[in-house]
Amino acid sequence: MLAHRGPPGHPERPERVSELVATLESTGLADRCVKLPPRSATDAELLACHSPSHLERVAAMSAELQREAEARGTESAYSDENYDSVYHSSGTERAARLAAGCVLQAVSAVLAGDTLRALAAVRPPGHHAVCERAMGFCIFNNAAVAARAALATPGVSRVAVVDWDIHHGNGVQDLLYDEPRALFLSLHRYGRGFYPGTGSYSEAGRGAGLGRNVNIPWREGDLTDADYQAAFLLLVEPVLTEFAPDLVIVCAGFDASVDDPIGDCDLTPAGYAWMTERLLRFAGGRVVLALEGGYNTRVTADCAAACVRVLLEGRAAEAPQRQRLSPSVEPDLKRVYAFQRRFWRLWGPGGPGGAQAPDGKAEAEAESAAAAAAAAAEAAAEATAITAAREGVPYVKPVHHHPQPPELEEWEWEAAWQAVSSQLEADLPKTEGPSPAPLAPAPAAAADSTAAALDRLWEAAVARAAAVDAASAASATTAAARAAAAEFAAAAAVAAVAAPAAAAATQAAAAAEPGVAVDLTPVPGSDRVAIRIRIRDAGAGAEGAEGGAGDAAAAEVAALAERLAAAASLAGGAAAEEKAKG
Catalytic residue positions?
Answer: 128
SS3 379: helix
Q: Answer whether 40's CB lies under 8 Å from 101's CB.
A: yes
Q: Answer whether 166's CB lies under 8 Å from 204's CB.
A: no
In angstroms, the CA 47 to CA 175 distance is 12
In angstroms, the CA 416 to CA 350 distance is 9
CA distances from 474 to 276, 375, 464 (A): 48, 45, 15
Which residues is 290 bridged to in the sheet?
A: 120, 251
Exposure string (b/e) for 24-56, b if CB count within 10 Å is 16 or more? beebebeeeeeeeeeebbeeebbbbbbeeebbe
Which residues is 351 bridged to in the sheet?
A: 348
Write the CB contacts of 497 (distance below 8 Å, at least 6 apart in sequence): 527, 528, 572, 575, 576, 579
The amino acid at 176:
L
User: Residue ranges of the alpha helices (H) in 325-449?
Assistant: 329-340, 361-367, 369-390, 410-425
CA distances from 226 to 114, 233, 322 (A): 34, 10, 7
In angstroms, the CA 541 to CA 285 distance is 48
In angstroms, the CA 382 to CA 87 distance is 21
Cα three-residue angle 92-121-170, rounded to 5 degrees: 70
